[in-house]
Each structure stands twice: as structure tokens, then as C-alpha cells.
Chains A and B, each alone.
Chain A
Amino acid sequence: MSLIKTVRSPKLLAAPATATKSRFSWASLPRQHLVSYVFMSLLGAFFLLPLIFMVVGSLKPNERVLAEGDSWRAFIPTSVTGANYVDAFQQADFLHLFFNSVVITGSIVSISLVINSLFGYALARFRFRGRALLIAVVVALIIIPLESYVIPLLYMVARLQWVDTYQVQILPFIANPFYIYLFYTFFLNLPKELEEAAQIDGADLWRIFTRVMLPLAGPVFATVAILNFLSSWGQLLWPIMVTHGPEVRPLPLGVAEFQTEPPFHWGTVMAFATMMTVPTVAVFILFQNAFVRGVARSGIKG
């Protein structure tokens, strides 16, 4: 039932097909549409201007970022320099922190896709004792946020002498009940005929999973990968607690650090922030349809 329903849910970020193919002109717009455009432009400005400020600020000499901050010149590159980017690399050690973030986020996203999809698939398709109970436990665990057990977790990893390592920033975030649940509901809604056909052809369970199910599961993998990427890339609380030196620190801590030691080189901060945002924008642009389709399909809506 729900499968049939979701098939007709269209690509959300794609523009709906316009009925007329005639050439566009502002004058022919109904008044109601014009009002919509005015509102959308105002909202758009609210959402876009801080981002423009960030990018433009990264290109300006340090002192101009604040000096021109209170007028429209804040959003205009009045004078362009690459010095901030050079500083971000040389003084703020961007490359090192970027490498750390890539290692940490990359490991979390890739390993967690494997582990959580296996778990979700087993819950959806296998028959075993305690299955219903296990599903209930997973659903219950979704409610527990990291922040509610972060202190004992810190106590545990401190005892293990894991402070200032990569694994302390990776291992706790691999298995995730919410992602397991997303995989579970996705596989549950896939028709069983394909697997049964493969079974008749003599394929074992592992082959069925890797050759039949995985190729169909692109959307849910994309959803989980993107949700996971966004939350790992931005993590702040946990890295603050488990890294003391810059060795294994991720990017968000680099940004946070800027604001603790004056003098503040705001142009450099903006360059750092801009470069830190580039990967997220890239992931979003590359996968936006998959992401939004995934959101709609995976029962995120509850």
C-alpha cells in the first residue's frame, strides 16, 4: 500500500511541469503569483545574505570585513584578496583539520552504511526468535539522544585511553537505531518476488542481499549517507570532549577555536568557514534529488 503511494510522489526539488511552453514575461503574471514572488524573494534574501556575507568576507582584507559590515557593502567584494585563504592554510592549518574531518566522517558514513543496512535487512526479512522484540528495542533506542549518555561515554573512553584518537570519534557513531529503522522500513516495503526468484535460481542469502537487494536500495542508502554525513561533519560537543590537542581535531573545532584567541582575523575565519561548507554544498547538489526522494520515501515523516 505505502509502496504504491510513494511511487507517485514526484521529485520534490524538480520544478513541476509547467502547462504552457510560451515565453515567460513578468507582465503576463497573475497578481497572486507576483505576490508569491515578492515573498519568496524576501525569504530568499534572509536565507542567502548570511552566506553571501561569508563568501564575500572570505575574499576581503581582514579589517574590511567588520568595517563594511553594517551596510550593503558587506555583500559586495569591494576589494579582493586571496590572503585569507593562504592564512587559513598556513596559520589555521585548514588542510590538517580537513583531513581529520574526511577520515572521521568518511569512516563513519561508509562503515555505518554496511552495518546498519545488514541489521535493517535482517529485521525486515529473516525469521528468527525474538525478532519482534528486537524491532521494538531498536525503535525505543531511537529516542535516546547522544547527549543523554555523553558523560558516561566520555568516562568509558577516557578509561580506555582513547582520548585524542580517530577511533574515539568514529566507533560510537557507526551503529545507529534510526538508520537501522530507515533500512528496515525500506526493505520491508520492497516486494518479495525478486528475492524468491533468486532463491529458486539457487542464490544463497548473502548473494540475494548483495546482488538483488542492494541495487534496489539506492534511495535509502543515499538518505542515510547524507543524513549521517551532515551530522558527522558538523559534530562539536563530542570532539570538544575527546580531543585535547590539534592532532585529530575535526573542522568545527577549528572554527570554534578562532573565537577564543584574539586578535580575530575575520577574513580568515570566513575563508575557513567557506571552505568547510564547500563539501556539504557539493554533496547536496550532487545528491539532492536522491536525498529528498529518500526523505519522502523512508517514512521519516513518522
Chain B
Amino acid sequence: MATTLQQSRTSKAKRYTPPLVVWAFLIPGAILLGIFLVAPFALAVGMSFTSLRLISPLPLKFLGWQNYARTFVDPLFRQALQNNFLFALVVVPLQTSLALWMAILVNQKIRFVKFFRTLFFLPLTTVLTVAATVWSLLYIPDTGFVNGFLRALTFGHFQPHWLYDPHFALTAVMIVGIWQSAGFQMVIFLAGLQEIPEELYEAVAIDGAGSWTKFRYVTLPGLRNTLIFVVTVTTIFAFRLFDAVYIMTKGGPLGSTETMLLRVYEVGFDQQKIAVGAAISVVFFLIVLVVSIIQRIFVHEEGGLA
């Protein structure tokens, strides 16, 4: 089969498709991508160097790096950046290992796993707005279930004020993020797990390997690319944090849940400082870009093996 595929491919390689047909297939998408992605993105970079505001009596000026300089001395932006990094630092390892553990649990050949798979996946069907709303009730200090549960567990010794306490608000947001999206990562891990040939497990089992050895020397190496993918997606998710904080805290208390995208919204939309907002979003993009490049470097190495 592989050889016939090869032959048919080479025999057709030199024939070009009629340009009219190519255009008909490509043009609708190309126009929309151009207008609604490429153009505004180029504009974002361009306007971040200007003095543009939504409504302004002053003439448009070229400011160079001034908007960026202003952004990086803004204490709220610094806090937002720090929060995003902290979120990534905590949530990425936690959620990735949780999702992997869930995937391994429900990948066993035992009864009812289908039921549990569906259960773990279910929070994903609530959009983040709904998830954040429901959790903000669970987090209410006096009458919320989270503290009711902790009261029973710690005899009333541990009663944080969650969304009202700068030391706990970000943690509360992290838990909602993990709750809502761990199921998606689990499904991706499941797909990866089922690609690992059963024979590999049988082979190490013959050598008398325990479950840790199997995990360490068969499962983990087999999931290498899946792991890289999940880590990348979760990292980018951490920097895109907006919906949950917008609903639950609006960045407070005392900026403890401020995020970069919340700053984009506050500066670029609320305060109508379009150019500064664009500068923040360009910084946001550069972080996403770096994360993606790191992913591609790691996956590329694997290319030769796969």
C-alpha cells in the first residue's frame, strides 16, 4: 500500500491544479484571515508605537518604545505578569500530573471506567463563565461549601476568605481552572496512552517490572510528545487567564488576581488607551510565542525517532 501511494504521488507531482479552482477554494478563507487576523495583528504591533486613543483631540504621534516603557513600570501590569507566571508555575505541573493520573486510572481494564471518564470530562461542558459563577458561591467564606467542608475537616481552624483574601484569591482561581479543564488534558493523555503498544508492557512484565518501573520506562517515554503538547497548552492557558478572574474577582483584592489580559481589557477598553492596550497585548503575544517555540524545539528532536 505504501508503494502505490508513493507512485501515485510522484506521477501527479508535476501537474498543477487550474489556478481558478485553487482560488475558489482559498479565497474566502484567505480574505477573512487577512481582514480579521493578519491586519489587526499587524495593527496591534503598529499602534503600540503610537499615541492612538479611541477619541482624542490630539494629533497622532509616533512614540517609539514609550508605551512599552510605561507598561513595564505600571505596578498593576507587573503584578499581572507575576500572577500569570505564578499561575503557570503552579497549575502546569499540578494539572498535568493530575490529568495524567486520571488518564492512567481510567485506562485500566476494569469496570465502570467509562462512567468515571465521562464524570472527569463533564466540567468541560460548563463554559468558564458558568464554572466561575458556581465556584464563587462555593467560595463564600461563611456559607460556602468549601469552607463548610474545611470546617468539618479542620474543626474550624482553617477558614480562609478565599476570593476576599489577597493570599488565597489566586489559589481559588487556580482550583477553578484545574477543575474546569483537567478533563480535556485527560482525554489527550488517553489518546497517547492507547498508542503505546501493549507488547512493551508485556515485555517489561516478563522481566519482573513493578508498576513504577512500567510507568517510568514505558509510559513516560511513550507519552513524551503528548506531555510536551499538554504542558504547552496548559502554559498558554495560564497566560490567557481572563474569564474566571473577570467573573470572580475583577483582578482584586489588591491586584492579587490581576492578569495580563485583564490589563489589556482595562487599559485598552475601559480607559480607551488603545495604543497602551496594544502594547500589553504584544507583550502577551511574545510570551505565547516563546512558549510555542520551546515546544517546537522539543518536539522536533523527537521527529527522528517517530
A interface residues (Cβ-Cβ under 8 A, vs B): 1, 5, 9-10, 12-19, 24, 33, 36-37, 39-40, 43-44, 46-51, 53-54, 57, 65-67, 69-71, 74, 115-116, 118-119, 121-122, 125-129, 134, 141, 143-145, 147-156, 158, 171-175, 177, 180, 191-193, 196, 205-206, 230, 233-234, 236-237, 240-241, 252, 255-256, 258-259, 266, 269-270, 273, 276-277, 280-281, 284, 288, 292, 295-296, 300-302
Structural contact, B125 and A66, CB atoms closer than 8 A: no
B123 at the interface (CB under 8 A from A): yes
How many A-B residue pairs lie within 8 Å, measured between CB atoms? 311
Structural contact, B188 and A301, CB atoms closer than 8 A: yes
Q: Which of A16, A155, A252 contacts B129 (CB 8 A)?
A: A252
Known: A66-B140, A71-B148, A141-B38. A44 touches B119 (CB 8 A): yes
Structural contact, B25 and A122, CB atoms closer than 8 A: yes
B interface residues (Cβ-Cβ under 8 A, vs A): 1-2, 4-5, 8-9, 12-17, 19, 21-22, 25-26, 28-30, 32-33, 36-41, 43-44, 47, 52, 54, 102, 105-106, 108-114, 116-131, 133-138, 140, 142-145, 147-148, 151, 179, 182-183, 187-188, 190-192, 194-195, 225-226, 228-229, 232, 236, 240, 242-243, 246-247, 261, 264-265, 268-269, 274, 277-278, 281-282, 284-285, 288-289, 292, 295, 299
Besides A50-B123, A66-B143, A295-B188, 7 more A-B contacts (Cβ < 8 Å) are A44-B119, A47-B179, A54-B126, A175-B37, A234-B128, A236-B242, A270-B134
Tell me what chain B mostly uses at the interface: helix, strand, loop, or mixed: helix
With a cutoff of 8 Å between Cβ atoms, the chain A residues found around residue B182 in the complex are 47
Structural contact, B122 and A127, CB atoms closer than 8 A: no
- Cβ contacts A to B, 17 pairs, < 8 Å: A9-B194, A12-B194, A18-B109, A19-B109, A47-B183, A70-B144, A119-B28, A145-B285, A147-B261, A150-B40, A156-B39, A175-B30, A236-B242, A266-B137, A269-B133, A276-B127, A277-B125
Structural contact, B143 and A69, CB atoms closer than 8 A: yes
With a cutoff of 8 Å between Cβ atoms, the chain B residues found around residue A49 in the complex are 145
With a cutoff of 8 Å between Cβ atoms, the chain A residues found around residue B40 in the complex are 149-150, 152-153, 156
Q: How far is the CA of A24 from the CA of B110 in the complex (A)?
A: 11
Q: How far is the CA of A66 from the CA of B144 in the complex (A)?
A: 7
Structural contact, A74 and B145, CB atoms closer than 8 A: yes
Q: How far is the CA of A121 from the CA of B21 in the complex (A)?
A: 12
Q: How far is the CA of A158 from the CA of B265 in the complex (A)?
A: 16
Structural contact, B129 and A234, CB atoms closer than 8 A: yes
* Leading 6 A-B pairs by shortest Cβ distance: A70-B148, A234-B127, A175-B32, A148-B285, A152-B43, A296-B191
Query: A199 — nearest CB in chain B belongs to which residue?
Result: B12
